[in-house]
Amino acid sequence: MSELHLPWLELSVLIPIFGAIVTARLKNAGYSRLVCLVSCTATLLLTLGEWVDFVALKSFAAHDHWDVLAMMFQDQIFVIDELNAPLLPLAALLCLLTVLSTLRTKQRRFAFHWMLISEAILLATLSCRNAWGIVLLLVAAVFPVWLELRQRGRTTQVFTFHMALFVAALFIGQALVDLGYLFAGGAFLTFAGLLRTGIVPLHCWMTDLFEKASFGTALLFVAPMTGAYAMMRLVLPIAPEWALQSIAIVSLITAVYAGGMALVQTEARRFFCYLFLSHSSLVLVGLELATPIGLTGGLCVWLSVGLALGGFGLTLRCVEARTGQIDLKRYHGLYENMPTLAAFFLLTGLASIGFPGTIGFIGTELLIEGAVDVYPLVGMAVVVAAALNGIAILQAYFKIFTGTRHHESFCLRSRFAEKVAVMILTVLIIGGGLYPQLGVASRYHAASELLRDRSDQLNFKQKSRTAFNTNLNHDH
Amino acid sequence: MLNQCFLILGLMVVVSPAVLLAVLGTASLVGLKISEQTSARLTQTSVITGLTASLTILGLMLGTGERHVPIEVGHWVLIPEESFHFHLKFVFDRLSVPFAILSFVLCGTIGAFTNNYLHRERGYHRFFVLYALFLLGMIVSSLAGTIETLFLGWELVGLSSALLVAYFHDRKNPVRNGQHVWVIYRIADAAFLIAALTLHHLTGAGDFDELMGTGPWPEGHATISQSHALFVGLLLLLAAAGKSALVPFSGWLPRAMEGPTPSSAIFYGALSVHLGAYLLLRVSPLLELSVVLSTAVILIGLSSAVFGAVAARVQTDIKSALAFASLTQVGIIVAEIGFGLRYIALIHIIGHACLRTLQLLRAPTLLHDYNDFENAIGEHLTHEPSFWSRWVPVRIREWVHCLALYRGFMDDLLKAFVVRPMLRLFRWCDGMERRWTNFLSGESDPAEPTKMEKRESLEEFV
């Protein structure tokens, strides 16, 4: 395996941990925000550095230089490959933008140190290729969110119930896989992955989380789609084709259902949650199709949805920070008060549904093409889900930004830091839309390698099983 | 040399509205104030550049006898191993050139008119950003050489139309109507996308040259089977019906008149409303393959025409009356396409678009002129009873009047049988989900915000 020029992966996990320790000791919320901002920026630069370094190596996978974890565990724990290379900067960017768009008035209520801990766990999960490592990190990611819910004095039963099922299924599944019971183990792991992604009917924890946790925490818990990552690492290599395609159909049903549910929501957070659910299910559809085009589409949409809906969620959070909880039953008339946020809300929303000229367009086309290839009629449901999401997005835009003008007591326009966040995402969304070839080619290469890897592993397991049966016959 | 000329001019036609959108859109997003004069100059420059380039191409085509000039921009996305490509190609032929020139001429006229009409309006810049989006969408749709490129332009036109209907967004009605238009457009877009994908699968390419035979428009012959042509054609007909407000989607057309008069004129009187007919003209070789499909096109066209003619007679405002009059003409155009009269349909589109733009732009001052006219002659203008009113029984007349007044109950039927049951189902699901989470958490209603959360507004905080 190739070696990176610096220990980028380990540093990108260590920096947020160090930042969290410093932030936890600070009493002043302003300084905490500053330290958090610096840590997140440094982490983003490190993840970008590792991506550039990895691309320059022209290899499918690489590990850190001076790999301390490999020395300790005698195994490559943190590995960068075609799958996670762009996901790491995406996750770091979302964390940075969340901090950047946190208003000063809200900084006392936002737990910066827990956010940094969550970022470290998230980046470690996305860097990890070891199955048990992923299982443990996925479990660890649950605790900061659970603690925040407790600190806010909200009931944690729904979250606890679902996450307990998730943790149990993960542990049982991986243990069964290790013992050689691939089918049963795969089924448990699939159940865990679907629950973490929020597939119907295992999704109710997500709406509950968005209602009870802070918007930033809930967004960072779901937006990087670690459930889908777990499916890719733990389920894709061992699952037979029919199982993957069954998961794709369940995901497709979720995509349509969540798209429809987004239409009838009367509260902005729940609306966002269903919108996200619909899109993350579409990503899962692409990932589980197990065809080069479908998988490429899934990987492209993963990135575009991460960026677009991440930006969409942050915009909603910025509006909510100014107006309080957003009721979608009435028109708020906020366009004149915050035109930049209105334009960005629309841009990110349209990018998420794959509107032409935005980053999601080609990914969605590939995804639909892949789905139709495998299931000519059922695959059309992707188009239906996209149409429902499109209607829901414009409906929310109209409810929030149009109507009788809201007369503010002071200027509600976006602040400098928010404008910076908006501009960064706009450049990425439009830039990725106008020049998609680079991203698509890279994702196609990743998809091909993942499918080759999967076929190698399935062949190897088949051969082992045949050899085992032959030996058994000889013994008889 | 000639090819180089065509390439440069062709790119100028497409790039000029794209640059306008980039400049106005970026300025709007970063909050840069552009004066009205600068906006108007930029718009003028863009339209004149595009129009001049289009006219030059037309002149060159007439001079050299070329009937089909493809402009290859290249592959936007290419995965050679999977034969997947998104091919950006524009075509100048007997269909696209008149449509592109028509778009530039009418958009230029409307741009100049709007500059005065919306002078010092708060939404002046917003209008011109959406106008640029619309112009780009129209030009890309008109010149599209592949079905994917056409879809790209089609979506841009749809978004700008819906947002312009909701232009006066301080009032609820325009916003609701904008949403209504968007819903219909999304249905049309979904049908279009499925049709495009199916064509891709059947022919392995999205290029119109390969889809519709090799001859220049309108002489191409499609090579797919009759049943496939019927399936794809019906989807495209659904897309066209949504975009052109044909039966059963006609309900959105009068609603679209809530927007400012210039946008009503350009979108629903002149260009956008003809885009469905344009799509049918572009894929007209498909219609030849299936008699059932052609019949469906004719029936939808004629029923739209009859409905438009009847509904226009009971409208109480001039813009709605003009909207239904437009529908009548568009219905006839679609029927002409179904009958295979392609050149007549194209000429009909151009003539109708120009006339309707003039009528809609004249509409705001017409009432004023009527008043002056009646004052001058000293009495109200009288209306002769129509031929039908003398021969048709009162009861039937009343029934037709009621049908026309309620727009054929089409909106009501769609709401009663499609929208409401769907929303009711999802609301029921939402209720069940809430009950489940309440059961798990032991709360009465977690969605009910606490008093503290309600006070989270920044203004109250400060």
The owner of tokens 């062949």 is A459
Distances (CA, A) of B59 to A382, B6, B67, B306: 45, 11, 12, 39
Q: Are strands A79-81 and B68-79 parallel, antiparallel or unpaired?
A: unpaired
pLDDT, tens only, B356-404:
999 988 888 887 888 888 899 888 877 777 777 778 888 888 888 888 8
* Residue A465 forms part of a structural domain: no
From chain A, pick out residues whose CB is under 8 angstroms from the CB of B420. Answer: none
Confidence band for B262, pLDDT divided at 50, 70 and 90:
confident
How far is A249 from A379, CA to CA, in rounded Å?
9
Which of A68, A100, A129 is at the close of a domain?
Answer: A129
Annotate B219-234 with DSSP letters as a single string: S----S-HHHHHHHHH
pLDDT on residue B452: 43
* Residue A473 forms part of a structural domain: no
pLDDT on residue B460: 53
How many domains in chain A?
A: 3
Asked if A204 lies within 8 A of B436 by C-beta distance, the reply is: yes
B residues 108..147 contacting A (CB < 8 A): 122
Domain ranges across chain B: 71-92+122-363, 406-444
Cα nearest neighbour of B123 on chain A: A336
A372 touching chain B per CB within 8 A: yes
User: Which of A106, A108, A154, A158 is the mutation pick for testing B, counting most B CBs within 10 A?
Assistant: A158
B residues 10..29 contacting A (CB < 8 A): 28-29
Which of A239, A274, A289 is at the close of a domain?
Answer: A239
Cα nearest neighbour of B152 on chain A: A356
Q: Where in the sequence is the domain holding A265, given as residue range(s)?
A: 240-447
Return the minimum-mean-pLDDT range out of A321-325, B13-17, B271-275: A321-325
The owner of tokens 């698509």 is A440
Q: Are residues A264 and A398 in the same domain?
A: yes
How far is B286 from B68, CA to CA, in rounded Å?
19
B372 touching chain A per CB within 8 A: no
- DSSP class of residue A3 equals E
pLDDT, tens only, B405-422:
888 888 888 889 989 999
A367 touching chain B per CB within 8 A: no
Q: Are residues A47 and A176 in the same domain?
A: no
* Residue A472 forms part of a structural domain: no
Confidence band for B445, pLDDT divided at 50, 70 and 90:
low
* Residue A294 forms part of a structural domain: yes
Which of A222, A239, A256 is at the close of a domain?
Answer: A239
Q: Are residues A19 and A85 in the same domain?
A: yes
* Residue A55 forms part of a structural domain: yes
Tokens at residue B91, please? 């075509």
* Residue A204 forms part of a structural domain: yes
Nearest-by-Cβ selection for A161 from B78, B151, B440: B440
Asked if B170 lies within 8 A of A410 by C-beta distance, the reply is: no
Return the minimum-mean-pLDDT range out of B126-135, B409-418, B426-435: B409-418
pTM of the model as a whole? 0.92
Cβ–Cβ < 8 Å for B161, B138: no
pLDDT, greater one: B84 or B353: B353
Q: Are residues A321 and A437 in the same domain?
A: yes
From chain A, pick out residues whose CB is under 8 angstroms from the CB of B228. Answer: none
Residue among A152, A143, A101 nearest A120 (CA): A143
Minimal CA separation from B454 to chain A, in Å: 6
**Does residue B194 surpass a pLDDT of 50?**
yes
Cα nearest neighbour of B183 on chain A: A391
* Residue A109 forms part of a structural domain: yes
Nearest-by-Cβ selection for B166 from A263, A372, A402: A402
Average pLDDT over residues B313-340: 92
Cβ–Cβ < 8 Å for B132, B156: no
Specify which residues B70 forms β-bridges with.
B91
Asked if B458 lies within 8 A of A207 by C-beta distance, the reply is: no
Query: In a structure prediction context, what are the per-residue pLDDT tens digits for chain A, which is 476 residues long?
Result: 788 888 888 999 999 999 999 999 888 888 999 999 999 999 999 999 999 999 898 888 888 877 777 777 777 788 898 889 999 999 999 999 999 888 877 777 788 899 999 999 999 999 998 899 999 999 999 999 999 999 888 889 999 999 999 999 999 999 999 998 888 999 999 999 999 999 989 999 999 999 999 898 999 999 999 999 999 899 988 888 888 888 888 999 999 999 999 999 999 999 999 999 999 999 999 888 888 999 999 999 999 999 999 999 999 999 988 888 899 999 999 998 888 899 999 999 999 999 988 999 999 988 988 888 888 777 788 899 999 999 999 999 999 999 988 877 777 777 888 888 888 999 999 999 999 998 999 999 989 988 888 888 777 777 776 777 777 777 66
Cα nearest neighbour of A376 on chain B: B198
**Does residue B267 surpass a pLDDT of 80?**
no
Asked if B82 lies within 8 A of A292 by C-beta distance, the reply is: yes
Cα nearest neighbour of B447 on chain A: A211
Nearest-by-Cβ selection for B442 from A157, A344, A398: A157
Q: Are residues A325 and A208 in the same domain?
A: no
* Residue A120 forms part of a structural domain: yes
pLDDT on residue B128: 94
Q: Are residues A248 and A315 in the same domain?
A: yes
Return the minimum-mean-pLDDT range out of A147-151, B82-86, B173-177, B284-288: B82-86
Cα nearest neighbour of A106 on chain B: B458
